[in-house]
Structure 1
Amino acid sequence: MPEGPSVKRFQLLTAPFVGQVVAKVGGSSRQRNLKDLKAMRLQDSQASGKNLFLAFGAALEAWTMGGSPSPGPVEEEPTIQGEADRGACSLTLSQEGQEDEVSQLSPKEHSVQRKQETECSVPDAADAAGGIWKWLRFHFGLFGSIRANEFSRANKANKRGDWKDPVPRLVLNFDSGGFLVFYNCRIHWCTSPAVEPASDILSPKFHRGQALAALRQPTSICYTLLDQRYFSGLGNIIKNEILYLARIHPLSQGSLLALSDLESLLDHAVQFSTDWLHKKLAGKGLHYQIYLKEKCPLGHEVMQGTFGPRDGFKRLSWWCPQCQPLVAPEGNDPKSLKR
């Protein structure tokens, strides 16, 4: 799924629409009361880790966010065939080496996603943001994305051999004539954004001391890095890349590593995530050092394994045994550790 830099980019893509009024709502989502967004104003846009939050309020209430909504005629929702002439701007997501626009959910995946959405209810207006705003939380799937003023197009045939464009989960048309399109995401109403800047690797308020304490636990370091309580927005790509940059084996226990090594790892986590965001905003791709590679930059053979807590989710790891030697507990043979 999109990692912190991608979701932050999504937030920046939605930001220009803050202050505008929703003129029409479309999409395949069966989340209840999404149609109620019509005639509401987009009041705020926030990103936290892997989640995007949008706030909506009554269009007639005084808007205090700064600036004023752009006046303009209400336009009909653009068709899939006719929107390309709008002079579109878009940001696409490259997740784990593939483009988001090539993916289309299967009927089974659509069914599961719709079931998840319909199980959630919209909060009463009196319960949301002090009785004024209603918040939507967006959690993106593996190839989730947002586009502004254009729709995603299929660039290859699906498993059935059909060239079908991805189906939008939600389309928000605004009174200015612009629109936002959301793909492959779960949409839930919430009473307020669950923003934890102390754990967000892209936040200026990221708490290094808290993160460092988490890294020093007697746990495989690759498990800790994916724990969103301490590293919100850090995903599998970032995990693999920064472990290689810090020369740390993914299964090394944090409590056995030197403090200087953990501080180096933390520096790489923040710097890599920030650089990745800047590359995305500049429309540049990301060059992997170890992720999905057969050899490391020094020419050594790369190993691959699936690691995760016994009762948790397992994720793929790539590492170089020569550049990233395993630090094992005293008296244990590194080869005996489970992978």
Structure 2
Amino acid sequence: MPEGPTVKKWGTMAGQFLGRSVVTTGGNTKKVDLQMLQGLCFTDIQVHGKQMFMKFTTDPSAQTSIQVWLRYHFGMWGTLRVNELKSLSNSALYRARYIQDPKPRVVLYFGDEEFLAFYGCSVQQIEAPLIDEETDVLLDSFNVEKSTSFLRQEKPVCHLLLDQRQFAGVGNIVKNEALYSSRLHPMQLGSTLSSEKALELVEAVGDFAKKWVKDGTPYSPMRDLSIYCKKACPLGHKVVRDMLGHEEFARITYWCAWCQPMQPTAPSTEFAEEVQAETSGEKSSDTLLAEGSPKWPIVMLKETSPGSHLYA
């Protein structure tokens, strides 16, 4: 899933067409009448978390004023291409030889061979962006104090970090890297964290996300990851890989049983009891490392049904 730093870079790429008029449109979306954009000027772009907002208006000299905002959410596999169309990779072609090249959801043409192509995203027309700048981890206005308090709930931190209502832009890579940097077990209950430890985790989230924007590419993070998709942590310990999270929001999680041990907690709620039940039979990190194949249980957390874009 594209994360905040990636969408931020895509916003910068799309911004090169600001002030240009849409010549024609394409794409297979049925949610928006793209023809209404033809002749309108691309006048503003905003990125919040994993969402991109684009504004189109009529020329100031036009007799009738029109303003259109489009909201893009890139989902699990969405992407943006500039002046090029996406094609299947060689590995994908090998696995599925008869699948056609992917079809863009939206294409905005600004001139000959100058266009933006959106793939795999949801798009909708809105009145205007509704943005809480205090929740975007990439902004200077990100409310560290509020986010620190939010983390101290009786839910696992790996679940809390993916809540886009408070940590807009955080996805699986940012989550895993920040937890390792803070030496926290993914299933550690937020309520067991001291205010200092919760603050350390929040700052680790912001630091990594901003470093990704600075050093990563538009389609991948920087190369020097510590834990995500690694077989060993920077200290040489074997990395554990498992699916953690609530049902459809479960994500593959990477952590080091040695560097990120589960701290003792007294169960007082459903979440605490569930975590204790799932981890009570686990072996010590020393035993896990000695055996060479640490395996932690799959944990499916109970939660009321959230909105489709509330979690990463």
Q: Tell me the TM-score range normalised by the shorter chain.
A: 0.7 to 0.9
Partner of 1:165: 101
Corresponding residue to 2:266 among 330, 333, 336: 330
1 CA distance for matches of 2:263 and 2:8?
34
- Equivalent position amino acid for 1:286 in 2: R
Corresponding residue to 2:80 among 146, 154, 163: 146
Partner of 1:68: none
Runs of 5+ consecutive residues of structure 1 not aligned to the other structure: 63-124, 126-130
Q: After the TM superposition, which of the residue ranges 322-331 and 188-197 deviates more from structure 2?
A: 322-331
2 CA distance for matches of 1:32 and 1:187?
7
1:205 aligns with 2:141: yes
Q: What are the superposed Cα offsets for residues 55-85 of structure 1, whole Å, 9 maximum, x if unpaired?
A: 11113458xxxxxxxxxxxxxxxxxxxxxxx
- Equivalent position amino acid for 1:32 in 2: V
2 CA distance for matches of 1:308 and 1:285?
25
2 CA distance for matches of 1:137 and 1:29?
13
- Once the two structures are TM-superposed, the CA of residue 284 in structure 1 deviates from its matched residue by 7.2
1 CA distance for matches of 2:130 and 2:45?
13
Q: What are the equivalent positions in structure 2 for 1:28-47 lying under 5 Å apart? A: 28-47=28-47
Residue 243 to residue 61, structure 1, CA distance change in 2 (3 Å): farther
1:318 aligns with 2:243: no
- Once the two structures are TM-superposed, the CA of residue 194 in structure 1 deviates from its matched residue by 2.4
- Equivalent position amino acid for 1:326 in 2: M
- Equivalent position amino acid for 1:314 in 2: A
Instruction: Report the 3-state secondary structure (helix = DSSP H, G, I; strand = E; otherwise coil) of the residue aligned with 1:240.
Output: helix
Alignment coverage as a number of residue pairs = 271
Instruction: Report the 3-state secondary structure (helix = DSSP H, G, I; strand = E; otherwise coil) of the residue aligned with 2:216.
Output: helix
TM-score, length basis structure 1: 0.73
- Equivalent position amino acid for 2:199 in 1: E
- Once the two structures are TM-superposed, the CA of residue 167 in structure 1 deviates from its matched residue by 1.8
Instruction: Report the 3-state secondary structure (helix = DSSP H, G, I; strand = E; otherwise coil) of the residue aligned with 1:261.
Output: helix
Partner of 2:6: 6
- Equivalent position amino acid for 1:192 in 2: A
- Equivalent position amino acid for 2:160 in 1: T
Percentage identity across paired residues of the two chains: 34
Runs of 5+ consecutive residues of structure 2 not aligned to the other structure: 268-275, 283-296, 300-312
Q: What are the equivalent positions in structure 2 for 1:12-161 lying under 5 Å apart? A: 12-61=12-61, 132-156=66-90, 157=93, 159-161=95-97
2 CA distance for matches of 1:208 and 1:154?
41
TM-score, length basis structure 2: 0.79
- Once the two structures are TM-superposed, the CA of residue 336 in structure 1 deviates from its matched residue by 4.8
- Once the two structures are TM-superposed, the CA of residue 285 in structure 1 deviates from its matched residue by 3.6
1:304 aligns with 2:238: no
1:245 aligns with 2:178: no
2 CA distance for matches of 1:262 and 1:301?
26
Q: What are the superposed Cα offsets for residues 79-100 of structure 1, whole Å, 9 maximum, x if unpaired?
A: xxxxxxxxxxxxxxxxxxxxxx
